[in-house]
Chain A
Amino acid sequence: GAGVSQSPSNKVTEKGKDVELRCDPISGHTALYWYRQSLGQGLEFLIYFQGNSAPDKSGLPSDRFSAERTGGSVSTLTIQRTQQEDSAVYLCASSLGKRATDTQYFGPGTRLTVL
């Protein structure tokens, strides 16, 4: 079956603009995660959804970052007033969500470049 998909694959924007990044999880997966990966770095946890709710938003770097999930499926990560330090690859993952140890399946990521 289809894996996790993300769009767009690449996004170039100007400083100060808003961007929306989309994640389509694997069908039936109730848990969804967003991570940020800066060049040559590990993954930084941003936010986790169980269904449509996000029990823990503490990983979001600033109030310019927000995320939502509708219908227990698609999720959107929004970055307002983008800054150059927001440039990174944004990865989404989904899992069955029945246990915290369920395997996370990652999408290919969205590479965001802020000029």
Chain B
Amino acid sequence: GENVEQHPSTLSVQEGDSAVIKCTYSDSASNYFPWYKQELGKGPQLIIDIRSNVGEKKDQRIAVTLNKTAKHFSLHITETQPEDSAVYFCAASDFNKFYFGSGTKLNVKP
């Protein structure tokens, strides 16, 4: 089955700096890669996603890149703000089965 690895497990940045979270996957059949933000006591919330036929996608301060050949994808957050502090999860999907990374706890220091 699919195996998704996510790094780093914790990330601390200064407000205004950029943050990058990286994931790798093992199954070349995976074709959809969403990213989720989870705040304490809440369920994950989709923040951006990318499909396998696209190399990069941006939405304001958030961007995701995908390298299908190397089987890795990354989340980039620019101009970080304290409200970006949360746990971020990557996931890989083939059809309707989703495999999640172990999460990155992002702390943005004011």
Residue numbers of A with Cβ under 8 A of B are 4, 31, 33, 35, 40-45, 48, 50, 55-56, 59, 91, 93, 100-101, 103-109
Contact = CB atoms under 8 A, between A and B. Distances in A.
A68 to B, nearest CB: 18
Contacts of A4: 43
A108 B41 CA distance: 7
Contacts, number: 59
A58 B44 CA distance: 23
Nearest to A91: B43
A101 B51 contact: yes
Given A31-B96, A33-B98, A56-B97, A108 B6 contact: no
Contacts of A101: 32, 49, 51, 93
Contacts of A104: 34, 46, 98
A41 B49 contact: no
B64 to A, nearest CB: 14
B96 A56 contact: yes
A93 B95 CA distance: 16
B32 A45 contact: no
